Structure 1
Amino acid sequence: MKSLLKTPLLLFLALFTPFISAEPILQSTSLNTCSDDSGFSASLFKCVFTPNNGSASIDMVATITVEGMVIFDIAVYAYGLEIIRQEVNPCDINLVGLCPMQRGRLAIPPFNLDVGGAASAVPGIAYAIPDLDATVRIFVNKTDTGESVACVEANVSNGKTVDLVGVKWATAIIAGLALAASAVVSGLGHSNTAAHIASSALSLFSYFQAQAMLGLTSVHLPPIVASWVQNLQWSMGIIQVDFMQDIFTWYQRSTGGEPSSIFDTLRTISVEVHKRSLDVGDYAVDLFKRGVAMAPRALVRRGNIQTSDGRYVVSGIQRVAFRAEIESTNLFMTGLTFFCLFVILTTIGIAVFKAYCEFAVKKQWMGPDKFVEFRNGWTVVLKGILFRMALIGFPQMTILCLWEFTQNDSPAEMVLAVFFFFGILATLGWAATKVILIARQSVTTHRNPAYILFSNLEVLNKWGFLYVQFRASAYYYIAPMLAYLLVKGMFVALAQRASVVQAVAFIIIEVAALIAASVLRPWMDKRTNSFNIAIAAVNFVNAVFLFIFTNVFGAPGLVVGVVGVVLFFLNAIFSLVLIITLIVSTTLVFFRPNPDARYQFMADDRASFMKSQTQLTTTTELDALAATARGDKAGYNSKLDLDDDNESLTAGSMRRRADNLSISPAHGPPGSQFSPHNEKQYPPHSPVNPSLPLFPGGNQNRGAPPSDRSQSPYDQGFRGQNNSPSPAAFRAQNNSSPWQRGAGYD
């Protein structure tokens, strides 16, 4: 077991080793203005400093509106803390065109600058920290008057980052294999285990998507946070494939759109990737809004924001697209295509697996009892899987479709956005409504929502993706979950120009989700509740950190920088813990002869209604109950049809069933709720057949059921009242349905 836990830990840590072996450098790719009416700006700026040879390579195209002799006041900040302050005369270092400054456009050919003396002032740790949060700010002051005529700043990077391909692949493969494992375990008949694995896998996937949403907000994130959340953008379908990008560009152009070309201009124009501002207040947001106001309308319509000096500015969703090397006008089609591929490949995989199972049984490679439920009802299982795919892709499609509404990349893409957004929203809304109606019918007829939700295999296979992770009495919780995802996605997509609004909304949404999860505890058992409440707590902490990054209260820069590092370590460690937990629990399933035994019996007693092979062997009473509930007795054929909107859910049918329940037992056979002429039309609602003994002879002294299982409602009737002639008399005396038990009914 120790080696099993140690292996994924070492693999996870090994993913971060690439950033410690490269040659030490410091580089910057954009020179940004940091004051109003700056007399110096650069549309292109590339600077690479190599400490090994003490030189800096500079390539710059600048626009100058001041003239005369100037001096540079240079300040270097690391994590918001000023570490170097120095004045430099451009004439002393022979900067071409800057001694003296002259009005006009200055195109300086690439040149090398000897800065060997300054190299010793840079601490060695600056070359090793991944995603270094460092900024060089330069105030241009007139030599004679000391007046500041310009301010520019450059974000400095050392080339080390936690945005790694290995992390992307590792997290994606683990989440995907866990979902696949839950399907295989369910097909093998271990429904309880499959439900736990699927619930954990979906929760982990949702946690990855929550972190990806942080990166999609327009809040200016510290570099290490922006890089970490970029690792998980695959969960939103943001995956760069070169030939796909060419196809998307062609499709947009051919459908009346105008693709952006930001990557084609990188050699001549710099791109400013917004990060937090060093200034007190929200200056960076103001600069961003001014950039939007000054940008040509055509460029804004194409998804790019270009300032008056020619630089491109990317923030929020555009920042994620740029870091993923995807044109912002191709982002919607990228996410949509991968969602469709996800659904199509899953469908093909299910069909191929069905064909293989039939072929393997025919060739006697596999026993006829393997995956029998899947083979007999694989189309219903496929429908349920497709519904689950829609649920997984709901956050992704909500954000991308709503984002497309604001961008209008082409008329055809707008049509696709409308179709997929409202289509998936209507599908999941209808599915949630269907589950609630089915559960209410089960409560009406059996006084327990678990009866129909778990005894009818067609209902369980098709709609179970919405409620199987919850306890039976919390079947409704899928509705607030969908509302949570929808509202959160709307703020991400539609509030890109209001970063503070996004941060405040995230806090409100996440605290509501945390309170609901902690108070209601809607998941199936204590372990699953703890797993999901922990995720909700971390999501709330992330929302608080996101608000700190807005710096609306003017916190010291060092505080914001430290919070960014804390967020990275918190989420990296927590993700590792969740991944190890999921790997261990999933792996052990395939090495245990009875994996369902390791999970506590759920209080809603759903296993009594399902075709479980483990939990129905401890008590003879539950054997009889489950057999009758499932219709395993000869001559019993359940006619429940809850798959379509037909007579089974109509108001007339509900009234007839209620009327049948009100008929006196004297009008029918003993223990029956129906009159004799209805006995053949409807299956018995009571799971007990009075004609069959519940206790075989000689079994009066058997041991008590396990303590962790809720006591059978028949125990007292048959142990304390042996003079009761039948279960019908026991029921008449207690006036309670035997199914009225479990969480929320005891």
Structure 2
Amino acid sequence: MKFSMGAPLLAAISIASFVLPATAERILESASLNSCQENSGFTASLFNVVYNPAEGKAHVNISAISTIETSVIFDLDITAYGYSFLHTTIDPCKIGLAGFCPMSSGRLSDPFTLDVPESATSNLPSIAYDFPDLDAKVKVYINATDGPNAGTSVACIEAAISNGQTVDLVGVKWASAIVAGLALASSAFLSGLGHTNAASHVAANALSLTGYFQAQAMIGLVGIPLPPVVQSWTQDFQWSMGIINVGFLERIFTWYQRSTGGTASTLITQADQLATVSVDVQKRAVDLATRGLSMLPRSVVEHGANLMKRVNVQTSYGSYVVYGIQRVAFRAGIESTNLFLTGLIFFYIIMVFTTIGVLAFKGCCELATRQGWMKGDTFLEFRNGWRTVLKGILFRMCLIGHPAITILSFWEFTQNDSPAIMVLAVFFLLTLNAVLAWAAYKVIRIAHRSVALHRNPAYILFSDPQTLNKWGFLYIQFRASAYYFIVPVLGYTVVKALFIAFAQNSGLVQAIAFILIEAGALIAAVVLRPWMDKKTNSFNIAICVVNFINAIFLLIFTDVFDQPGLVTGVVGVVLWILNAVCTLVLLLMLIITTGIVIFHGNPDGRYKFMADDRTSFMKSQSQLATTTELDALAMTARGEKPGYSGLDLDDDEDSNARDSIYRGQGSGANSTRNSHHTPSHYAPPRSPVDPINRTASPLSTSNLSIARSQNNVSPANMKPPSSPSPWQRGAGYDH
């Protein structure tokens, strides 16, 4: 038995598809021996074999139980990437295996070392030791040769083979996280310097890239059987969902769950647990629910447990089954009962550190200004309105964390780890979604007001600094006429979260839902092209295309087409290569673009003016350069505060007052006589509509007086436009 199990297991990895250089010690190993038929007469709760070709030995640790008492023959089928390349039989009597000729019942639990002759592995190519996440396995049917079951299989076992190489790398996680984080920080820095146009482009691409990372992570969270390379690749981006293993935090989460009436899982934290049992990380297209329930102990089934309720499903022979969200938690080294708290706490840790960072930057700016290390007008907008800027940044963090909190909260409803954790899930799910829904409502309301008063949604959305800094995270990446697109984006996230969390037991349902959802997203992106310019649209459409292709691959992984195993294996490798190339290209684009923008003499000048003319309303650095000391004196005489007018569009009365003032100030657009302090970046922008000729929203006498005093213009000098305003062309008035 020892030789018959060892040599075929090592031969299982003699086929692969790509050549990669060896970077570590060559080994072949298997960590689990799983039953592949019901009522199997030979089961193992632990199986671990490690073969080192340099030693010529295989170290085997097995804990198995046999109920077979008859003469048997071993029927072996060895596959790699679903392709069966070796099918042979072994008679244990011919090779003298004690205890297997005939086979006797009993327990086998002693570790042993197996000498593997060179002839057994001489045909193995070097690629077998180097290709990452090798998808190879050996399946052994134990067939009876006499007695009432002669000619039938009395047991079936299979073992997955790995070479220790993987694409689940810490370096990939850190690189992707650092690039996305620095891009977001760079956009904030550019915005503080007054380069609003450049900052909006960098922020839009950074948000899109982060969304793509989260889409990759969602693939790993589905309950669909995934090839090993897909599991490892998607694990690289679980940080974007807040799934990060920190030892002392995990201990705190376990304590909290137990102290609030829950029962914590100990599959990982119990020191000797993984040394005594196998964990079957599901990757085969089988009916997980049916199979899992058939393997559960009767006592567990009678208490109403099911695969969706508890992640650590223990089979009747002692091993465990993990899949979907459970699989991600296990691979991350996190107990399944701690997963929700892990994602939640890391989300709010980021919020806290972001707040501390903004406050520290504000303090540094003030100190540098007082000490003369920095010019007084540097970061002036930020220093005067840092509270509003901080609100906007926190709102943006909410948008980034929305997919993770929504998915994990929905999933927690199926787990009920403890009453207190359930309350947290309900509270944060409702709170976060309500905050983002309110923000989207405010944007739509402000845009409608801007269209009503100025026939252009961009006017108030981009001219008012408080609106832009506080709510701009929802619409600045879109063109002005597509300000509403944040609503379908939020709906897209919620719908995906529902299927990921509640359809863990039905991979086919998840796959079909993903295809429909991603197809809708792709069609909307191609038809509407809602992002700010052509390059940003291309960037996001490319991401939508890749997400749609990934959804098709997920359908293939469900084995709904009953395709050969080789097809599934090849598709898994193609998914990895496709997404790795796409990720690399997007990362390089973001790095190069951000670097050029930061070191460019005029960052705003690098980008063309957008069709919605938002740059005419936004205060850029080029406008700041025209400011003189006389401008500041004029503002002081008017009692105004630089950078902010003191009105908040969150308040209807203030908003209406500000709109009236904007209309009045815009009345000087065609004046032939300008004041001595024009142009000034502190003066509100001109409205694209001549307010004197408007009949829908006439100016009040008081507002008109304010307009005249601030613009030093008399009604006699105002001339009605001789032709339709250029703002009425391509600015989105029909939206």
Amino acid across the alignment from 1:473: S
* Corresponding residue for residue 744 of structure 1: 732
Give the counterpart of 2:49 among 32, 47, 50. 47
Provide the residue aligned with 2:404 in structure 1: 396
Q: 1:132 aligns with which of 131, 134, 137?
A: 134
Cα displacement (A) at 1:543: 0.7
Distance 1:540 1:634, change over 3 A: farther
Aligned equivalent of 1:580, options 580, 585, 588: 588
Measured after TM superposition, the shift of residue 33 of structure 1 is 1.4
Q: Per the alignment, in what secondary structure is the counterpart of residue 110 of structure 2?
A: strand
1:307 partnered with 2:324: no
Specify the alignment match of 1:612 in structure 2.
Answer: 620
User: What residue in structure 2 maps to residue 78 of structure 1?
Assistant: 80
Aligned partner of residue 109 in structure 1, secondary structure = coil
Matched, 1:232 2:233: no
| Separation in structure 1 between the aligned mates of residue 325 and residue 705 of structure 2, nearest angstrom | 56
Q: 1:285 to 1:86 in 2, by over 3 A?
A: farther
Mapping for residues 191-270 of structure 1, pairs under 5 Å:
191-263=196-268, 264=270, 265-270=273-278
Relative distance call for 1:326 and 1:683 in structure 2 (3 A) is farther
Q: What amino acid maps onto 2:105 in structure 1? A: R
Tell me if 1:349 matches 2:353: no
1:573-599 residue CA offsets vs partner (Å, 9 max, x unmatched): 110111111111111122211011111
1:729 aligns with 2:733: no
Match in the other structure for 1:469: 477
Change (3 A) 1:348 1:112: same
Q: 2:341 aligns with which of 316, 328, 333?
A: 333
- Counterpart of 1:3 in structure 2 is none
* Distance apart, 1:634 and its partner CA: 7.9
Post-superposition shift, 1:59? 1.4
1:123 to 1:95, Cα distance in 2 relative to 1, 3 A? farther
Q: Residues 260 and 302 of structure 1 are in contact (CA less than 8 Å); yes or no, is this contact kept in structure 2?
A: no
State the shift of 1:640 in Å: 8.4
Structure-to-structure mapping, 1:60-209, within 5 angstroms: 60-93=62-95, 95=97, 97-104=99-106, 106-116=107-117, 117-144=119-146, 145-209=150-214
1:287 pairs with 280, 283, 291, which one? Answer: 291
Q: Which residue does 1:678 correspond to in 2?
A: 701
Residues in 2 aligned to 1:222 and 1:138: alpha-carbon distance in whole angstroms: 21
The aligned amino acid for 1:743 is: A
> Of 428, 434, 444, which aligns to 2:442?
434
Cα contact 2:93–2:100 (8 A) shared by 1: yes
User: 2:300 matched to 1:296?
Assistant: yes
For the 8 Å contact 2:311–2:322, the answer to whether it is kept is no
| 1:210-245 CA distance string (max 9 Å, x none) | 000000001111111110110110000111111111
Shifted more, 675-684 versus 85-94: the winner is 675-684
Question: For the Cα contact (< 8 Å) 1:671–1:728, is it kept in 2?
Answer: no
Aligned residue for 2:499? 491
Q: Does residue 599 of structure 1 match 2:607?
A: yes
Query: 1:163 & 1:669 partners in 2: Cα distance?
Result: 61
Q: For 1:342 and 1:682, how far apart are their aligned partners in 2?
A: 48
528-537 or 37-46, which deviates more: 37-46
> What percent of counterpart residues are identical?
56
Distance 2:556 2:489 in 1: 26
C-alpha separation between the residues in 2 aligned to 1:292 and 1:487?
Answer: 32
Mapping of 1:649-728 within 5 angstroms? 678-680=701-703, 691=714, 727-728=718-719
How has the CA–CA distance of structure 1 residues 402 and 420 changed in structure 2, closer, same or farther, with 3 Å as cutoff? same
How far does the alpha carbon of each residue in 1:83-128 deviate from its partner, in whole angstroms, 9 at most, with x for none? 1222223345555543432334x13300112232422243332111
User: Structure 1 counterpart of 2:728, which letter?
Assistant: Q
CA distance, structure 1, for counterparts of residue 590 and residue 299 of structure 2: 48
Which of 645, 653, 663 is residue 647 of structure 1 equivalent to?
653
Contact 2:457 2:733 in 1 (8 A): no
- Decide whether aligned partners of structure 1 residues 670 and 397 sit closer, same or farther in structure 2, where only a CA change above 3 A counts: closer
Distance 2:73 2:27 in 1: 26
| Aligned residue in 1 for 2:512 | 504
1:543 equivalent in alignment to 2:544: no
C-alpha spacing 1:657/1:634, structure 2 compared with 1 (3 Å):
closer
User: 1:162, 1:429 → 2: CA distance?
Assistant: 38
> Which shows bigger deviation, 676-685 or 185-194?
676-685
**Shift in Å, 1:672:** 8.2
Specify the SS of the correspondent of 2:389: helix
Judge conservation of contact 2:661–2:706 (CA < 8 Å) in 1: no
**Farther-moved stretch of structure 1 (115-124 vs 591-600):** 115-124
The equivalent position to 1:26 in structure 2, one of 28, 46, 49, is 28
**Counterpart of 1:392 in structure 2: which amino acid?**
I
Contact 1:224 1:565 (C-alpha < 8 Å) held by counterparts? yes
Aligned letter for 2:512?
V
Output the CA distance in 2 between the equivalents of 1:611 and 1:550.
53
> Structure 2: which amino acid aligns with 1:728?
K
Q: Which amino acid aligns with 2:226?
A: L
Q: 1:671 and 1:152, CA in 2 relative to 1: closer, same or farther beyond 3 A?
A: same
Q: Measure the CA separation in 2 of the matches of 1:572 and 1:669.
A: 54
Q: Would you say the 8 A contact 1:671–1:690 is kept in 2?
A: no
Alpha-carbon distance in 2 for matches of 1:682, 1:89:
104
Task: Give the CA deviation at 1:70.
Answer: 1.1
Distance 2:127 2:694 in 1: 80
* CA 405–26 in structure 1, closer or farther in 2 if over 3 Å, else same: same
**Aligned-partner SS, 1:67:** coil
For the structure 1 residues 534 and 677, does the alpha-carbon distance in structure 2 shift closer, same or farther, using more than 3 Å as the test?
Answer: closer
Partner AA of 1:98 in structure 2: F
Structure-2 change in CA distance of 1:469 and 1:689 (3 Å): farther
Structure 1 residues 19 and 276: CA distance shift in structure 2, 3 A: farther
Gap runs ≥5 in structure 1: 1-15, 662-667, 693-724
- Tell me the distance in 1 between the aligned counterparts of 2:466 and 2:19: 49
CA distance in 2, matches of 1:295, 1:210: 39
| Counterpart position of 1:405 | 413
- Pairwise CA RMSD: 3.2
- Give the conservation status (yes or no) of the 8 Å contact 1:248–1:333: yes
Task: Give the 3-state SS of the residue equivalent to 1:176 in structure 2.
Answer: helix
Distance in 2 separating the partners of 1:295 and 1:475: 56
Offset of residue 614 of structure 1: 3.7
Tell me how far 1:345 sits from its aligned partner.
0.2
* 1:605/1:201 CA distance change after superposition, 3 Å: same
Aligned mates of 2:380, 2:661 — CA distance in 1: 35
Deviations 1:665-689 (A, max 9, x none): xxx996687878533378659x998
* Shift in alpha-carbon separation, 1:369–1:634, aligned structure 2, 3 A: same
How far apart in 1 are the matches of 2:143 and 2:162? 26
One-letter amino acid of the structure 1 residue matched with residue 731 of structure 2 = A
User: Equivalent residue of 1:85, what SS?
Assistant: strand
Q: Give the corresponding residue for 1:13.
A: none
CA distance in 1, matches of 2:691, 2:47: 90
Q: How far is 1:353 from its partner?
A: 0.4
> Which residue is 2:282 aligned to?
274
- Counterpart of 1:253, as a letter, is R
CA, structure 1 residues 73+338, in 2 after alignment: closer, same or farther (shift >3 Å)? Answer: same
